[in-house]
Chain A
Amino acid sequence: DSGVTQTPKHLITATGQRVTLRCSPRSGDLSVYWYQQSLDQGLQFLIQYYNGEERAKGNILERFSAQQFPDLHSELNLSSLELGDSALYFCASSAGQGAYEQYFGPGTRLTVT
């Protein structure tokens, strides 16, 4: 158990809809990272937050957004969903904004039908 929790575990929704994925980092970790894992794109970094502020962006679509709250949990919002958004979404946390080790949650499997 990494100490990182993600909810829900599975999510099935229709095209055009909006969903919110939630992540709670390990106790004491200030950085949260979001990654997408799909069969065709592999594991890709989406976005990083550190202590409530956006710190780095990767291959995140404009339809996607995220935030980190004062209690350090983070939410990833996916809107106008397309079939190609079906993937595993992982959250990871680390102690600092530049810490080497990231600890991953179990992931949320999103299926868009």
Chain B
Amino acid sequence: GDSVTQMEGPVTLSEEAFLTINCTYTATGYPSLFWYVQYPGEGLQLLLKATKADDKGSNKGFEATYRKETTSFHLEKGSVQVSDSAVYFCALSELGGDTGRRALTFGSGTRLQVQP
């Protein structure tokens, strides 16, 4: 079955540092890939997405490129802020039968702590 593997957290960085959170996936078909962010006490928010190989998703300074050859979708940001402290989830959704895209399969989440 489908699966998503994320790097373990927590990741602790100083403000303005470069961020990379690794994500690799296993899927049988052609999944769409997503990064969601969860701030303390809140639901998940879609951060960015990519629907086919070599697509780059970007939003709020975050970027991730869909790499089919390495089955990866690593999240990067050039300069993190304290306000980026949250839990980040990598997820995939694969085309499935008469239901269209299947529900999301999530990674375990990576907690990011940014210190001033």
Contact = CB atoms under 8 A, between A and B. Distances in A.
Interface of A: 2, 4, 33, 35, 42-45, 48, 50, 55-56, 58, 90, 92, 96-107
B43 A48 contact: no
Interface of B: 32, 36, 42-46, 49, 51, 89, 93, 95-96, 99-109
Contact of B103 (A2, A33, A105): A33
8 contacts: A33-B103, A44-B106, A55-B99, A56-B103, A90-B43, A90-B44, A98-B101, A103-B46
Contacts of B102: 56
Nearest to A109: B41
A42 B106 contact: yes
A33 B99 CA distance: 12
B106 A102 contact: no
A90 B44 CA distance: 9
A48 B99 CA distance: 10
Contact of A98 (B49, B51, B89, B100): B100
Given A43-B89, A43-B106, A96 B46 contact: no
A100 B51 contact: yes
A45 B43 contact: no
A102 B104 contact: yes
A45 B44 contact: no
A6 to B, nearest CB: 8
Contact of A45 (B45, B105, B107): B105
The 8 A-B residue pairs whose C-beta atoms are closest, nearest first, are A98-B100, A104-B43, A45-B103, A43-B106, A104-B44, A98-B101, A106-B43, A55-B99
